[in-house]
Amino acid sequence: MTPEELSGAIRGALLQAVGDGRLSVAVPDEVRVERPRQREHGDWATNIALQLARSAGMPPRDLAALVADALAAVPGVKAVDVAGPGFLNITLDAASAGELARTVVEEGSAYGTNDAERGHTINLEFVSGNPTGPLHIGHMRWAALGDALRRILAASGAAVTAEYYINDAGTQMEKFAASILARARGTEVPEGGYPGDYVARLAEQVRAARPDLLDLAEEEALTVCRDLGYDLQMADIRETLALFDVHFDVWFSERTLHESGSVARAVERLREQGHVYDADGAVWARTTEFGDDRDRVLVRSDGSVTYFAADAAYYLSKKDRGFPEKVYMLGADHHGYVERLKAIAACAGDDPDVSIEVLIGQLINIAGERMGKRRGNAIFMRELHDWLGSDPVRYTLARYPADSPLSLDGEEMRRRTNDNPVFYVQYAHARTCNVARLAAEDGVDRGDGFAPELLTDETEATLLATLADYPRVVAQAGALREPHRVARYLEDLAARFHKWYDTCRVRPQNADEEITDLHRTRLWLNDATRQVLANGLGLLGVSAPERM
């Protein structure tokens, strides 16, 4: 019996009680069941009696007892206990609980997918680094979290589009071009330019592509440096993200907003909504009406548009492209953007509580770095990949909430011990693969039998309950925008599996031992665990190795 089936059985008991007049209450469409904190309290628990008691006009324990009596007759339910003020603790019989192993194996990679976000069309923007230099570890945090969230939302039924906003307009691009040209000429970069070694490398590539660069007039030379430097740097950004298996559906250029007139049209569209006014020679958005600390300038008195105007045009572009829900994942220095972006949504006539969500990530640093290619306090993502590889970085960054500052030890992330969470989880998967290989060598064939009623060991009940909880964890991680819930679940699952592995044998102990349905059924459970570990790691963009 799956948690969904149990939830349906509880709801059925409530509906039956309403139908025969023993209960008068509106039965919710879904009854939530959870694993109890203490295993001795059963396999599953629900507080539905506490939720409905007041509207039903009954003491919670009386309502719980009514449901318990009905559930006791449901096939697969071994016992139902009323606990505390009205909790229901439910224990399944071994056969019903064990049936989940076959369900997981048969569903394969689809196990854990759910409909919690079905009907939601989401634009998910993350990373969005300037095309004026390599991506660094700060970008990596959003790459790991953003791509994991994309996968989780898709697994929960959402239509999600991953988008990278290229900040390729404004003075930073001119400074970038001037820095490349200076390095090509063998001179120092101008004040406020980009001094990194990568600029010298870009200058070499630009000169190789345009041998006549130094003979060009100043403005033409700057244009060449800007355009070629931009193309080269964007290629590097795409390749760097691909190293970590991070890919985007849309690469949106800020420059196109200006060149197409979208920024000017955005100002007029907000004016039509009644939220734009003129003062002191400038054009303003009345964002204080929507919680901003001050009104924002859209067009300066000299006629130039502000970043805020470009942000408004970008928001409207997402709206026009058919994204009713927009999630922005921004860095720690963007706290001030939250109210501004929500004000833009409100000025555009949308409900900011529905149409926009801003997630802010905190700062991150890695101690113990050994490469010696620092840029201030930044470590470039390519260097991070060369040093640690993709899996340790993606898993480690995904297992913490975005709003928690991180100070990580790179050498700890490399360590192949159980103290290293990514190794611990990947090793559990590799161990399930090894169990299956050795079982096959011994002649244990999963297809020869399945007797779930034989899975009676305490470690088996615990492992099955953990496997059953996976779809709920995925749905919750998507709803709360918290990929770390999947990582922490996998660590718990790995711990349950290792304990089961130490207690229960899948293979015969010697050549004389007869292979029975117990061996075969345990192989089903082993393979179900392997599937869930692989599915969960896949949601985090981390590999599931078969050998370690």
> Tell me: the pLDDT tens digits for 315-354?
999 999 999 999 999 887 777 788 889 999 999 999 999 9
pLDDT of residue 142: 93
Please report which confidence band the pLDDT of residue 41 belongs to, taking 50, 70 and 90 as the band edges: confident
Across the range 198-221, mean pLDDT stands at 96
User: What is the pLDDT, as a whole number, of residue 374?
Assistant: 33
The dihedral region occupied by 202, where left means phi > 0, alpha psi between -120 and 50, and beta the remainder, is alpha
- Across the range 40-54, mean pLDDT stands at 91
Question: What superfamily does domain 3-92 belong to in CATH?
Answer: Arginyl tRNA synthetase N-terminal domain (3.30.1360.70)
Whether 214 shows a pLDDT value over 90: the answer reads: yes
Indicate if the pLDDT at residue 291 is higher than 90.
Answer: no
Taking residues 229-250, what's their average pLDDT?
97
Q: How far apart are CA 144 and CA 391, in angstroms?
A: 10
pLDDT (tens digit, 9 = 90+) per residue, 508-526? 988 889 999 999 999 999 9
Give the mean model confidence (pLDDT) for residues 119-147: 94
Q: What is the mean pLDDT of the chain?
A: 92
- Residue 400 clears pLDDT 50, i.e. is over it: yes
Give the pLDDT score at 413: 87
Chain length of the chain: 548
Q: Are strands 356-360 and 325-330 parallel, antiparallel or unpaired?
A: parallel
Percent of the chain with pLDDT over 90: 81
Confidence of residue 541 (pLDDT cuts 50, 70, 90): very high
CATH 1.10.730.10 domain extents, the chain:
417-539
Whole-number Å distance between alpha carbons of 142 and 148: 9
Q: What pLDDT digit, counting tens, does each position of 430-461 carry? A: 999 999 999 999 999 999 999 999 999 999 99
Structure-token pair, residue 130: 């300037």
Q: What angle do CA 480, 241, 171 make, to 5 degrees?
A: 95
Q: Could you report the per-residue pLDDT of 178-204, keeping only the tens digit for each?
A: 999 999 999 999 998 998 889 999 999
**Which among 172, 138, 121 is positioned nearest to 329, based on CA atoms?**
138
| Residue 371, pLDDT score | 33
> 484-503 and 421-441 helices cross at what angle (nearest 10)?
40
Cα Rg of the chain, angstroms:
29
Q: Which residue, among 237, 192, 194, 383, has the nearest Cα to 203 in the 3D structure? A: 194
**pLDDT-based confidence at 2, cuts 50/70/90?**
confident
Q: What's the DSSP call for residue 288? A: G
Task: Please state the three-class secondary structure of 209-274 as a single string.
Answer: HCCCHHHCCHHHHHHHHHHHHHHHHHHHHHHHHHHCCCCCCEEEEHHHHHHCCHHHHHHHHHHHCC
In this predicted model, which residue has the larger pLDDT, 36 or 365?
A: 36
Domain with CATH 3.30.1360.70 in the chain: 3-92
* CATH of region 417-539: 1.10.730.10
Q: Quick check: 370 pLDDT over 50?
A: no
Tell me, what's the pLDDT at 510? Answer: 85
Cβ-based neighbours of 128, under 8 Å, separated by 6 or more? 164, 165, 166, 167
Report pLDDT for 378.
64
Residue range 126-259+362-414, CATH number? 3.40.50.620
Percent of the chain at pLDDT exceeding 70: 98
Q: Where in the chain is CATH 3.40.50.620?
A: 126-259+362-414
Residue 369 has pLDDT above 70, yes or no: no
Q: How does residue 39 score in pLDDT terms, banded at 50, 70 and 90?
A: confident
